[in-house]
Structure 1
Amino acid sequence: MIPKKTILVAPLHWGLGHATRCIPLINALLVHNYNVIIASDGGALLLLRKEFPSLKTIELPSYHIKYSKKGKNFRINLLLKLPSIQKAISEEKKCIKELVNQKLIDGIISDNRLGVYHKNIPCVFITHQIKVLSGKTTFISSKIHQKLMNKFNECWVPDVEGPFSLSGEMGHLKNTPFRIKYIGILSRMNKLNLPKVYDILILLSGPEPQRTLLETQLLKVFKGTEQKILVVRGVLENKQTTFDLKNIKIVNFMTTFELEKAINESSVIIARSGYTTIMDLTKLEKNVFLIPTPGQFEQEYLAKRLKDLGMVASCKQEKFTINKLDELALYKGLKEIKSNTNYQELFSLFEGKRKL
């Protein structure tokens, strides 16, 4: 009997989106008879440990990415973090080298972790940002990112080709120096026909302090209103906690099954315009109000793109009021993009021989 090959799946911990979109990939690997080792840090690693308690996990060094309270300072703060990010990438490389030397892994799927690769085994980089939007520095940041991505055997973009893509110009370039595969919309969710329980579901996510700032703002806006509201804080902790604030039910986190059920039971979703969140809500065909994280060019672009396409309502964080929800009637909501992922063909990359 041919022994199973082992694939390391390593999402970046920048909010929970990179981890959650790896869930369908991990499930597909298991279905196709691969062993899987999960590698990440922080809340992303905790989430995946809860989703896959029987799988081996490895804690990688943290990039320590945080937002500033003022969105305009995000780019400056990220530049100041570059030395610590580079240090984390170097430590990642050492960890991967050790795993490969011990012949513990046969392939790698890295979701935006730049140090998780090795020249002697097949390595994949997952991103929806081939073009990295960063304002005036977009050209430079994109070229640097593409140079780093070129070290991987393939780049998998969780999107479809053509004008009806989700990522738009971020995930679609005319010429790239590396091999790109569009693998379809990655979502751990399924659309269910369930009776409506909540008028509004608020999905919070992303690094601090912006996650907390939005939570505080929205709780003030909706406290004491007539709507029945569920708030999922997006805070991963060892134990799930729930409490009520008048008309608002608040939970720190939910498992995939719980969140899938809650989204399907909700009439309106208020969320950040993170790419993974958008993929999930597209799969579930939801009516959505997006509030991009201040200073994050990617989220601002995605919110504007989907608004211009007539699909979602959105506004800047500081401009949100309860009356903004009236604008939802002007938009058609997110509609599922049909895409079939051929995992057997996709995973064929890992069936090549290990280099000596």
Structure 2
Amino acid sequence: MKKQILVAPLNWGIGHATRCIPIINGLINEGFEPIIASDGQALQLLKKEFKTLVFIELPSYNIKYSKTKKRFKWIMFWQLPKIKKAIKDERQAVKKIIQDYTIKGIISDNRLGVYSKKIPSVFITHQLNVLSGSTTRVSTFFHDRYLNKFNECWIPDFENEPNLSGKLGHDFKNKKLKIKYIGPLSRLKKIDTKPKYDILVLLSGPEPQRTILEKKLMKELVNNKKSILFVKGKIESEHTITHDNLLTIYNFMQTKELQNAINNSEIIISRSGYTTIMDLAKLGKRAFFIPTPGQSEQEYLAKYLDDKKMVPSCNQDEFSLKQLNRITDYSGLNSFTNVINFKDLFRLF
């Protein structure tokens, strides 16, 4: 009888779900049976990747996002009671799942209510410090209160320099939690090939900012004479591909398609989400980042990599095609090899 392990990524864009793919494959290869629990696009994406597994829908955090940077933090603040209730509902759902499926372990990627005192519970995050501007100390304090309910915290980054997350994942004074650096997680593989596309646009993240950036980039790129592959990052029931001269548009891509697309592209324009950074670093690509307005984590990561002269970036309002000329002055993301010892990692279960 295979031990059943609950894997539950947060539905905040699709990054948490995609970085769980190597974890899920690792569980399968080590003889465990993953049970997947999430909601929204994260759940839809994993259903497309793993057609034979059991999937369970969790209560949605149902967060609304701001159209402007100035209002982002305060809109999030006013939704805290709703988020707290969602976490409580999540806790109740997990108790039932554990009983119904005889769950022997839990791996939660940023879902704060997915844990149990009765079985080993792991939290995956690259944010030991939850940046929120002037309220960073408060947001980190409350985040820690949830983290301390887990047996272990897995950080998908290197412990020492060079690393990809900077102070987000490395400044953890006074943390009581058992922390393990497991190295960056990526579902993709590097392939040496001659680039087919000059530019690859990879969109992701919450609305309405995903659509706002899509419209801005489309306006900038539509009459460009370069070969461009545009991936909207909209997980829909039907897979669509359209062509407009040198512009090819996908609504979304699954793992193999995305792997080929990135390997076959000269430069990538994307958000500075951490999962995207891990993927592009794995493949050793040159990129340009446009952080989601008001999202302090992405703004920090973009600045962190810009300051290190690895990847240039700018605010969403400031972007134009001329900004891409800066890429030649940057080193790009260095390709890494990270072989995770899943047998040792899963010893907890």
TM-score relative to the length of structure 2: 0.98
Q: Residue deviations 1:229-268, cap 9 Å, x none?
A: 0110000001101112333111100110000001100000
Q: Residue deviations 1:287-310, cap 9 Å, x none?
A: 000000000100010000001111
Q: Residue deviations 1:89-116, cap 9 Å, x none?
A: 1111111111223452111000000111
Q: Distance in 1 between matches of 2:188 and 2:91?
A: 33
Q: Distance in 2 between matches of 1:297 and 1:103?
A: 38
Q: Distance in 1 between matches of 2:101 and 2:216?
A: 50
Q: Distance in 1 between matches of 2:301 and 2:93?
A: 34
Matches for 1:190-229 after TM superposition, within 5 Å? 190-229=189-228
Alignment-mate amino acid for residue 296 of structure 1: Q
Q: Distance in 1 between matches of 2:18 and 2:110?
A: 13
User: Shift in Å at residue 175 of structure 1?
Assistant: 3.4
Alignment-mate amino acid for residue 205 of structure 2: G
Counterpart for residue 305 of structure 1? 304
CA contact (8 A) 2:104 2:119 kept: yes
Matches for 1:93-108 after TM superposition, within 5 Å? 93-102=91-100, 104-108=102-106
Match of 2:15 among 17, 20, 31: 17
Counterpart for residue 341 of structure 1? 340
SS in 1 for 2:103: coil
Q: Distance in 2 between matches of 1:329 and 1:320?
A: 17
How many residues matched?
A: 348
CA contact (8 A) 1:123 1:153 kept: yes
Matches for 1:59-98 after TM superposition, within 5 Å? 59-98=57-96
CA contact (8 A) 2:234 2:252 kept: yes
Matches for 1:1-356 after TM superposition, within 5 Å? 3-102=1-100, 104-172=102-170, 173-350=172-349
Indicate the larger mover: 33-42 or 192-201: 192-201
CA contact (8 A) 1:160 1:339 kept: no
Q: Distance in 2 between matches of 1:22 and 1:176?
A: 24
Q: Distance in 2 between matches of 1:129 and 1:236?
A: 26
4+ residue stretches of structure 1 with deviation over 4 A? none
Q: Distance in 1 between matches of 2:227 and 2:247?
A: 6
CA RMSD in angstroms comes to 1.0
Q: Distance in 2 between matches of 1:303 and 1:102?
A: 43
CA contact (8 A) 1:204 1:211 kept: yes
Q: Distance in 2 between matches of 1:87 and 1:58?
A: 19
Q: Distance in 1 between matches of 2:89 and 2:95?
A: 10
Specify whether residues 203 and 103 from structure 1 end up closer, same or farther in structure 2 by C-alpha distance, changes over 3 A only: closer
Alignment-mate amino acid for residue 199 of structure 2: I
* Structure 1: unaligned runs, 5 residues or longer: 351-356
Q: Distance in 2 between matches of 1:174 and 1:82?
A: 26
Counterpart for residue 354 of structure 1? none
Q: Residue deviations 1:174-232, cap 9 Å, x none?
A: 43111000000100000001231110000000000000000000000011111110110
Q: Distance in 2 between matches of 1:171 and 1:48?
A: 26
TM-score relative to the length of structure 1: 0.96
